[in-house]
Amino acid sequence: MNANLDDLYQQVILDHNKNPRNFRKIAACTHTAEGFNPLCGDHINLYITVTDNTITDIAFEGSGCAISTASASLMTQTLKGKTIESALSLFEHFLQLITGKAIDDQNIAFVAKLKVLGGVAKFPSRVKCAALCWHTLKSALLESKHPVSTE
Ligand code: ZN
């Protein structure tokens, strides 16, 4: 059965692309990183405020395709209030989700609303768009000084 593009661009993704949540700069953030996906032209700047090992604020700016913008928007919504360990563990489960690997029930619940991005697994060229913000997150949290590239 051929995957239908309409399945990929679900209403939730279109909504987050049109009205991205937490789309702003945090001037006094504690962590920041920049990410590029040269394959598609997606670009993101991520800003995170960590207080006592918990992500108390997270926001992004950038430009890119609907999938990269929606993914970043959903990520910032999901991660606010989470610990760094929890965020990095969610990143691993999210990668499993978008590459079509099986996730057990407990972790599917953990991934929660990010499930709408699971459709990219059928479109290999879109996986990097969805993963860009997460790679950038990891770089920011681990305080790498180099810009992230998916290539
Ligand atoms: Zn893209």
CB 66 within 8 A of CB 13: yes
Per-residue pLDDT of the chain (151 residues; tens, 9 = 90+): 456 666 777 889 999 999 999 999 999 999 999 999 999 999 999 999 999 999 999 999 999 999 999 999 999 999 999 999 999 999 999 999 999 998 888 788 778 889 889 989 999 889 999 999 999 999 999 875 566 777 7
Cβ burial 31-59 (10 Å sphere, 16+ → b, else e): bbbbbbbeebebbbbbbbbbeeeebebbb
- pTM beyond cutoff 0.85: yes
30 C-alpha to center of ligand 1: Å?
A: 27
23 C-alpha to center of ligand 1: Å?
A: 17
pLDDT for 146 equals 62
CB neighbours of residue 7 within 10 Å: 11
105 vs 25: CA distance, rounded Å: 35
Sole residue written with tokens 């959903």: 74
Closest CA to 40 of 73, 10, 68, 72: 68
129 C-alpha to center of ligand 1: Å?
A: 4
Instruction: For residue 68, count CB atoms less than 10 angstroms from its CB and return exposed for 0-12, middle for 13-18, buried for 19 or more.
Output: buried
pLDDT for 83 equals 96
CB 96 within 8 A of CB 103: yes
pLDDT for 50 equals 95
Structure tokens at 33: 């990183």
105 C-alpha to center of ligand 1: Å?
A: 29
pLDDT for 1 equals 43
50 C-alpha to center of ligand 1: Å?
A: 28
Closest CA to 48 of 133, 107, 120, 108: 133
Residues with CB under 5 A from ligand 1 (ion): 40, 42, 65, 68, 129
114 C-alpha to center of ligand 1: Å?
A: 17
Structure tokens at 100: 């079509």
